[in-house]
């Protein structure tokens, strides 16, 4: 059994999209002392709430998933909020963990931390070779500071903190609110609604020419738990599926899976975001044996089925 079984573990964001899968993976490993702080009781942007969390939960390990996130539109509307909230949550959680004597801190970064024109596939050593894509730079840089803090604290205090860089996630339980969702749930919702209304086209953002890599949320959760169990080094680690697909091909695949035969109109007045995204995932396999298992088509099928069963929640 995993050594995690004997630990008290706090999962910030544990009630969210990724967090619910991480908590399930912990439970499957026999962990029964898992604490999930809810935002209405612990506003992690506030230092006093963070101190109270440590005092009340008394954790051995923190898996810090809590974040203010959204798609390109949400990032463009809220750059200050995305920067401040993510920065303050991460900085304070790690600082109070150090003072508390925490055994391990698992920091979750973002692919948005990479420079806009990173050579493909993205290697961890490329993180500092340029400025992130402008539409999500405030968010990406706020999360990137967790890496700086993690390495600085390891150097000065011997604090055991690791930093993981997951690629774009998707899967059942995702956010399908068109005001804040990422590309896969947004496209699924648009296509499903167009089909049901008998419409002959949908409108998608950008040109469709940019590429993205997508990691099924359950695979991401497994990668995070494997790193928590087995990885204790300063270097950042990518978590991805190791492939890329153009947004145009992605939209067409979703149309096929939903059974929508209409046209896709590309609104080129909207931004594309970063030109390409695909991670080099070799270090994750080498360091803690992680490889993504879920095929994109199968993952999309499961996600569409989940949305169809829960779409009343998003109406």
Radius of gyration of the chain (CA): 19
Nearest to 243 by CA among 286, 283, 296: 296
CA distance 272 to 204: 10
CA distance 165 to 150: 13
Residue listed under structure tokens 């949320």? 217
CA distance 136 to 176: 19
The string of pLDDT tens digits covering residues 230-267 is 999 999 999 999 999 999 999 999 999 999 999 999 99
Write down the pLDDT at residue 74.
Answer: 84
Q: What are phi and psi of 254, to 5 degrees?
A: -65, -40
CA distances 83 to 77, 101, 140, 222, 274, Å, are: 12, 27, 8, 27, 18
Write down the pLDDT at residue 220.
Answer: 98
The 3-state DSSP class for residue 208 equals: coil
Q: Contact 97/58 with Cβ under 8 angstroms?
A: no
Mean of the pLDDT values across residues 100-116?
96
Q: Point out which residues pair with 161 in neighbouring strands.
A: 105
1 confidence band (pLDDT: 50, 70, 90): low
271 confidence band (pLDDT: 50, 70, 90): confident
Write down the pLDDT at residue 314.
Answer: 77
Write down the pLDDT at residue 174.
Answer: 96
Q: Has 139 been annotated as catalytic?
A: yes
Q: Contact 254/187 with Cβ under 8 angstroms?
A: yes
CA distance 91 to 105: 12
Relative to beta strand 214-216, strand 161-166 is unpaired
Looking at the predicted structure, is the pLDDT value of residue 85 above 90?
yes
Q: Contact 216/170 with Cβ under 8 angstroms?
A: yes
| Span of 42-46, 82-86, 309-313 with lowest mean pLDDT | 309-313
Mean per-residue pLDDT of the chain: 96
Of 21, 42, 54, 139, which is the active-site residue? 139
CA atoms within 13 A on the CB side of 261: 0
Quote the percentage of the chain above a pLDDT of 90: 92
Name all contacts of 37-43 with Cβ < 8 Å and 24+ positions apart. 37/10, 37/12, 37/66, 39/66
Q: Domains of the chain (ranges plus CATH)?
A: 3-171+215-242+278-293 (3.40.50.720)
The string of pLDDT tens digits covering residues 110-163 is 999 999 999 999 999 999 999 999 999 999 999 999 999 999 999 999 999 999
Q: Contact 192/185 with Cβ under 8 angstroms?
A: no
The string of pLDDT tens digits covering residues 197-235 is 999 999 999 999 999 999 999 999 999 999 999 999 999
Burial of 287 (0-12, 13-18, 19+ CB in 10 A): middle
């Amino acid at each position: 059994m995993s050594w995690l079984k004997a630990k008290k573990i706090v999962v910030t964001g544990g009630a969210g999209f990724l967090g619910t899968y991480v908590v399930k993976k912990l439970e499957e490993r026999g962990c029964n002392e898992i604490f999930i702080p809810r935002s209405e009781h612990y506003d992690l942007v506030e230092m006093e709430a963070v101190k109270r969390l440590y005092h009340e939960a008394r954790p051995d390990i923190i898996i810090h998933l809590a974040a203010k996130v959204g798609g390109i539109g949400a990032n463009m509307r809220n750059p200050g909020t995305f920067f401040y909230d993510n920065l303050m949550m991460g900085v304070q959680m790690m600082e109070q963990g150090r003072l508390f004597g925490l055994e391990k801190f698992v920091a979750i970064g973002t692919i948005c931390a990479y420079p806009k024109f990173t050579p493909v596939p993205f290697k961890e050593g490329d993180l500092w070779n340029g400025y992130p894509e402008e539409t999500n730079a405030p968010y990406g840089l706020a999360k990137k500071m967790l890496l700086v803090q993690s390495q600085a604290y390891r150097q000065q205090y011997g604090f055991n903190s690791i930093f993981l860089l997951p690629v774009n996630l998707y899967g059942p339980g995702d956010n399908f609110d068109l005001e804040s969702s990422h590309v896969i749930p947004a496209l699924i919702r648009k296509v499903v609604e167009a089909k049901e209304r008998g419409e002959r086209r949908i409108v998608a953002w950008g040109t469709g020419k940019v590429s993205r890599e997508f990691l099924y949320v359950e695979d991401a959760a497994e990668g995070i738990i494997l790193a928590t169990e087995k990885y204790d080094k300063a270097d950042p680690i990518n978590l991805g599926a190791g492939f890329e697909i153009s947004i145009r091909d992605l939209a067409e695949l979703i149309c096929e899976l939903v059974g929508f035969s209409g046209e896709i109109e590309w609104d080129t007045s909207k931004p594309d975001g970063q030109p390409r995204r695909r991670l080099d995932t070799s270090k994750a396999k080498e360091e803690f044996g992680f490889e993504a298992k879920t095929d994109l088509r199968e993952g999309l099928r499961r996600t569409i089925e989940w949305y169809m069963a829960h779409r009343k929640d998003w109406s």
